[in-house]
Structure 1
């Protein structure tokens, strides 16, 4: 039996697999669950047996901060016992490990091979109670995974209102400010992700917490309002306009949200933005015309008179 600090940790390791677990694992992309979504039943059972008996090889990647060897043990995927407990949704085991590791930032924030800290996994498996315990124990909510996502990015991408609520409520004020500004490796803030996926309640929540409603993606300068027009989400457009989005903000190519409505099917969005947009931003930016180049040379004159081939000037 595995024990923390000499006390047995209550858990039912032999319980049948919960179908809800399978749905969580099957729906995750980019191996968010360290590969368990592709495990066969026999492999899963074997992993659970190893978890029960703690047959995990030590690894020197984890800084040694205590005399508790269970904190130093890793799987080949770089998962600690806490990662595994969260992945397998063993709530009692996860909470017991967190309780024993209060203040141990190295353990609480340890990232596996996919750069996932336990907080990322708590959000992915939709376990806000574990996320709350981690934050109260002193974990860092600003840690990023291999895609540059914080746990709040993931909660916004998944549409987890409870996850967003826990992460924003239990993060410290300076951490929350940083999380709302943070962009992932695709250049997206949490507000961008919530807008892209159409989670209006989360969008409104983030704005109320101080997220920059006019933040631009660094690659092309699109704001959440540009994204809403691109996605033809009229309800999101209305929400963003009502919350004070700048309808005259242009992308790096010079397009206002209204200009992006041209050629789109939703006339309601176009009419909604037309009356709010400056007249100068109603017309599409000038594009280069194929025949715009006018030659200074007549048809009887060579365009170039200084071409040399084999030491001799080329004559027309």
Structure 2
């Protein structure tokens, strides 16, 4: 097992990814809020004191107040990391699942925001008060998806320990709107400790993306992460599992720079799954290796805003129609592919 110190260090990496997640936080409407407006909101929140007779008659107008972006008092307290204030609000609304699970315009619950802002102690309090860990945001992510994407082991621990076994199994199997499970996201972003923890909790190491059938092992090859390949093999990943187009993880190593990965997989892969089929053309191979939005951000955070990963062609979105996407590659070739789109 990986040491706890190594797990903790993973949470400090990938500042660009954290910036993206914080963009989701700021998209909740606070950027457009004037300082004096926010200060007034905090003042009102701090003055919340429920009298017994008020609670008895249900006179709680502060629960109905929302910003133009759909954020409640609780959302705002979490976003601005007013921990004492947040705990007071949670204490007063404990058991009011409608308020605790209220979703803003981006479908974010207070629990989503606690994870995004890296406040595991707030997440724990929310779960104890009745927050639902299975609700999804506008990208189809549960709070656990976000914790795995952000690499916060503490939040992952809080979320997995608080869930009952049926809830946990359901969340571990759930895919976001890019078709990724929590294990896929942890793999894409290279959080080895979280990958190992999720597998130990029952995550399917061979789960396939619904669009093209890649497993975490295929993703590790695509992203050229030999340490992740080693870990997934140790966790029981099937080297002979093929994508919906028939590619094994080993076949995706052809043309890529890591000889270590090729050697690791070559020793275990069936002989008939090692060579690329002669009938397959370059276009179908490139289609197999295209990045999803989740992977695109990971790769761009490693290689700059407009990376290339030879021989994988980096696509730039040119246009979108129903189920079709026109892609302009960095080599100037315009191709059109069919995507598996999920409604947001």
Could you say which TM-score interval applies, normalised by the shorter chain?
A: 0.7 to 0.9
In 1: Cα distance, 2:16 partner to 2:86 partner: 17
What's the secondary structure of 1:213's corresponding residue?
A: coil
Unaligned runs of 5+ in 1: 1-22, 55-64, 291-316
Task: Tell me the alpha carbon deviations over residues 119-174 of structure 1, each in whole angstroms, 9 at most, x when there is no partner.
Answer: 00000110001100011111100010000000000000001011101000112221
Length-normalised TM-score, structure 1: 0.76
- Check the 8 A contact 2:115/2:143 in 1, yes or no: yes
- Check the 8 A contact 1:108/1:118 in 2, yes or no: yes
Structure 1 residues 86 and 288: alpha-carbon distance in aligned structure 2, compared to 1, 3 A threshold:
closer
Which of 229, 241, 245 is residue 237 of structure 2 equivalent to?
Answer: 245
Report the equivalent of 2:137.
Answer: 145
Which of 21, 29, 38 is residue 47 of structure 1 equivalent to?
Answer: 38
In 2: Cα distance, 1:186 partner to 1:125 partner: 22
Report the equivalent of 1:8.
Answer: none
- Check the 8 A contact 1:103/1:138 in 2, yes or no: yes
Task: Tell me the alpha carbon deviations over residues 196-230 of structure 1, each in whole angstroms, 9 at most, x when there is no partner.
Answer: 00000000000000000000001110000000011
- Check the 8 A contact 1:34/1:114 in 2, yes or no: no
Report the equivalent of 1:98.
Answer: 90
Instruction: For 1:177-196, list aligned pairs within 5 A.
Output: 177-196=169-188
Report whether the alignment pairs 1:276 with 2:276. no
Unaligned runs of 5+ in 2: 1-14, 46-56, 283-344
- Check the 8 A contact 2:183/2:198 in 1, yes or no: yes
The count of residues paired between Structure 1 and Structure 2 equals: 257
In 1: Cα distance, 2:17 partner to 2:234 partner: 38
What's the secondary structure of 1:187's corresponding residue?
A: coil
In 2: Cα distance, 1:189 partner to 1:289 partner: 30
Deviation at 1:273, TM superposition (A): 0.6
Report the equivalent of 1:261.
Answer: 253
Deviation at 1:289, TM superposition (A): 7.1
Q: Give the structure with the higher percent helix.
A: 2
What's the secondary structure of 1:33's corresponding residue?
A: helix
Structure 1 residues 261 and 289: alpha-carbon distance in aligned structure 2, compared to 1, 3 A threshold:
closer
Structure 1 residues 53 and 137: alpha-carbon distance in aligned structure 2, compared to 1, 3 A threshold:
closer
Instruction: Quote the RMSD (CA, aligned, Å).
Output: 2.4
Structure 1 residues 137 and 53: alpha-carbon distance in aligned structure 2, compared to 1, 3 A threshold:
closer
